Structure 1
Amino acid sequence: MSGLVVVGVDGSASGLAAVGAAAEEARRREAGLRVVHAFLWPAMHVPLGPSPLGPPEGGLRTMVEKLVAEAVEHAKSVAPDVEVSHAVVTGEPLTVLEAQSLNAELVVVGSRGMGGFVGLLVGSTAVHLASHGRCPVLVVRETGASDGPVLVGVDGSPAGAKAIDFAFAEASLRGAELVALHSWTTWNAPAPPPQDEKAPYTSGPDERRAGEERLLAEALAGQQERHPGVKVRHEVVHGGTREALIEASRTAQLLVVGARGRGGFSGLLLGSVSQAMLHHAHCPVAVVRGSGGEKDGGA
């Protein structure tokens, strides 16, 4: 066994769906799975044992132990061959998961939470972890099309290269087609070189599209050699990034986006595009930080 997948659980239905997705990821990667619950109440000095007037099996600690045990059993039912461990860690959920990401190759969370992850509405967990965590974050929204492709948003920036690496690896692990989507509009496409002094910008839509197709091809260069078994489909879309990715996610099993970008993907993690994906994508969304591990600013 090599590697570790971490999943945050809180007793919610969304958290349990994340456990199933995390177990599948661990199975594909031949990695271990760690089920983690952030136990906030001890830090707030709340009584953890049963109430004097309640049943002896009551109390917050018993409740937490039960929900973690249920999550572990669910993981084992999904991927019986995966080695599953668990941890109940005292602390605030985002801090706990950030610390867990130090030794993980992937952190998986549900799109909504309760209990130990109270207040983690869709987007906030992913935004925090992808900004401060040390590994990719998989946010489980809808189930996605099991036989669909892996979809990756490409903008041609150096920061987006990590997302492309992750998407190719995932497509290879899943035995799925990879759809590399690049969207452009006249305002985010680079201006062409002048044709002559009288008509400095006479490039038509066909020339602009050809330039965007070259950008996409260059961003994917070398990946096919590293992943020869992955079938790749290039999609260049003239239109808005959010709309293009949301529509394409309808038939995808996974959407991969980079933590930072430029052009059509400007501010992709902390800005409006990522929020739209986390709220409206029709499949799980993986957010991958760029090179260098630097913290990214918000948009």
Structure 2
Amino acid sequence: MVTSNPFVVVVGVDGSAESRAALDWGVEEARLRGGEVIVVASWQLPYVSDAGGMAWDYASFERDAQRILDDELRRVADTGVPATGRLVEGNAAAALLESSRDAGLLVVGSRGLGGFTGMLLGSVSSQLAHHAKCPLLIIRSGG
């Protein structure tokens, strides 16, 4: 069976150095395979509130994620590889797992901006390693 669908590389971004490295790797892999990249950023509202009565700017969570997505799409715009963005409200692991259903490859950084420093794998990459619906590449920057 011959298919005309391009090879799709899904890359999760969060503004971290690891996610930028993941996007660079994903773009190069898509170039080698004549494919395309879908760049996924997610956001969610915090589960806790400030006991001191601080008023959250809830819209800032979505704005920040959109800014990160836009910045990364601009950064790879001149590579010659088609790249589109997907902004998802919700848990990052869930958003990437859903996106992996139609992907040929999922690429993420080993640790993003959340979590604990020194961990080899963050909670998102760990969940993806166990549940991704396609091959997964976890990029670890030297550091």
TM bracket (short chain):
0.7 to 0.9
Asked whether the 8 Å contact 1:183–1:240 carries over to 2, the reply is yes
- State the 1:148 CA deviation: 4.6
Q: What TM-score does the superposition give when structure 2 sets the normalisation length?
A: 0.78
Amino acid at match of 1:167: G
Partner of 2:75: 222
Amino acid at match of 2:84: R
Amino acid at match of 2:16: S
| 1:159-207 per-position Cα deviation (integer Å, ceiling 9, x unaligned) | 322111101111111111210001111239xxxxxxxxxx964x454x5
Q: What TM-score does the superposition give when structure 1 sets the normalisation length?
A: 0.40
Q: What is the rounded CA distance, in whole Å, between the counterparts of 1:240 and 1:186 in structure 2?
A: 10
- State the 1:236 CA deviation: 0.8
| 1:226-280 per-position Cα deviation (integer Å, ceiling 9, x unaligned) | x12x1111111110111111111000000001122114xx468523322221211
Q: What is the rounded CA distance, in whole Å, between the counterparts of 1:251 and 1:160 in structure 2?
A: 20
Task: Point out 4+ residue stretches in structure 1 off by more than 4 angstroms.
Answer: none
Amino acid at match of 1:178: V
Q: Which sections of structure 2, spanning at least 5 residues, go unmatched? A: 48-53
Q: What is the rounded CA distance, in whole Å, between the counterparts of 1:200 and 1:244 in structure 2?
A: 27
Number of residue equivalences? 131
Amino acid at match of 1:161: R
Amino acid at match of 2:68: L
Q: What is the rounded CA distance, in whole Å, between the counterparts of 1:282 and 1:170 in structure 2?
A: 18
Q: Does 1:180 align with 2:39?
A: yes
Asked whether the 8 Å contact 2:7–2:33 carries over to 1, the reply is no
SS at match of 1:170: helix
Partner of 1:149: 8
SS at match of 1:151: strand
Partner of 1:158: 17
Q: Does 1:253 align with 2:107?
A: no
Cα gap change, 1:271 to 1:261, in 2 (>3 Å):
closer
| 1:15-47 per-position Cα deviation (integer Å, ceiling 9, x unaligned) | xxxxxxxxxxxxxxxxxxxxxxxxxxxxxxxxx
Q: Does 1:282 align with 2:133?
A: yes
Q: How does 1:1-299 map to 2 (within 5 A)?
A: 147-187=6-46, 201=56, 203=57, 205=59, 208-225=61-78, 227-228=79-80, 230-263=81-114, 266=115, 270-290=121-141, 293-294=142-143
Partner of 1:39: none
Larger radius of gyration: 1
